[in-house]
Amino acid sequence: MPENIMHELHNALYRTLQEGMKKEMVQKIEKDLKDLSNKVWENFTDGLLDNLSDCLSGQVEWCATQAIKALLSGHEKEMRYYLDCQKHGEQYYGWTGRTTDHHVIRGILFETGALAIRKEIVEAYPDLLKNERILDLEDQVKSLVNQLNKLEQWEKQAESVKP
């Protein structure tokens, strides 16, 4: 019963407003409401993005600090947790650097320094990261072999096209 009363009141108010307002007035109100909703949305998203960037950078810094503390304490599982590279079966969660081709620029294997840092860590903790370094090198060799095979295929195709 109250639903019917609310529905009837809504309809009555709507009809009254329709009859009492000119088309130009309704269009101006609609435009003002649209402008207001856009301004509210802009303020909301700006605030959200500002807070998100602060929280995200803080979380990354905290995880890096915890990973370094775990590494220096010799807690491999904890370190992997904070670096987000836990192994599950034969697969790793997170980023290990082994899913993309390793770039060769002007005949030199391009590294961003991560492998050099890992080498220093291996020297300090040889048992902890020895297998990871081996996997990196195996992956680099596999990547380079694949790239050479592609290059050879392209060269063969180019030779076969020549007149």
Rounded mean pLDDT, 69-91 = 75
pTM of this structure? 0.35
Give the C-alpha separation, 82 to 64, whole Å. 7
Q: Is residue 28 part of a domain?
A: yes
Predicted local confidence at residue 102, as pLDDT: 64
Q: Kindly provide the b/e burial profile for residues 118-145, where b requires at least 16 CB atoms within 10 angstroms of the residue's own CB.
A: beebeeeeeeebeebeeebeebbeebee
Residue 90 lies in a domain: no
* Span 26-67, pLDDT tens digits: 788 888 888 888 999 998 888 888 888 888 888 888 888 888
Indicate if the pLDDT at residue 112 is higher than 80: no
Name the domain boundary from 37, 53, 85. Answer: 85
Which residues span the domain enclosing 147? 96-163
Residue 91: inside a domain: no
Which range has the worst mean pLDDT, 75-84, 113-122, 142-151?
Answer: 113-122
